[in-house]
Amino acid sequence: MTNQNSENQETIKNIKDLIKDEKVAMLTTISSDGKLMSRPMQTQEVELDREEVWFITKKDTDKYEDIKLNPAVNLAYAGSSYVSISGTAELVQDSEKKNEYMNKIVEKLLNTSADDPDVVLVKVTPEIAEYWESGVNVKTVKEFVKKVTSRHSLEEGNDLKDTVHFRN
């Protein structure tokens, strides 16, 4: 079990490293009519050690209503690599965090300020996360060639992809 925990901690560190410079995630929610809806959201804070990813939005949005009805969400980050985080969203009113996260860019995007009662935080608690490394071109090509020429499936022992379950 300790080995599994250390592997999970290493994977969590890798995921955090992969998304630390990615400022925007695609947040996918489930609408009232059951459709998947995605929109870009500026990530405010990533604390995978505490199992928290934070965003800021307004109450008068479809995503707010979607989360109230069904808190199951997915976050997708794409840059030099790809990260997908499935989890549960929670709508949070925390004046201190709102002030911490509010800046001129967020104020401009939301057309509001931190003291606006319509401003709300979205805390996503990850349940499962996967990542695919793509920024290391030589490693990617070597891994792909190795898998294509092997008798084993592309999934077996793939060093470019990993999954972590936050809760057992």
Q: Which two tokens stand for residue 73?
A: 């969400």
* pLDDT by 10s per residue, the chain, length 168: 456 677 778 888 888 888 888 889 999 999 999 999 999 999 999 987 788 999 999 999 999 999 999 999 999 999 888 999 999 999 999 999 999 998 888 888 888 888 899 999 999 999 998 888 775 544 444 444 554 555 554 455 555 556 667 765
Q: Which two tokens stand for residue 127?
A: 């349940």
Q: Which two tokens stand for residue 47?
A: 């604390």
Task: Report yes or no: 76 and 20 within 8 Å, Cβ to Cβ.
Answer: no
Helices (H), 20-136: 62-69, 95-101, 104-110
pLDDT of 71-81, one tens digit each? 999 999 998 88
Amino acid at 34: G
Task: Report yes or no: 91 and 67 within 8 Å, Cβ to Cβ.
Answer: yes
Torsion, Cα of 60, 67, 100, 119 (10° steps):
10
pTM, entire model: 0.78
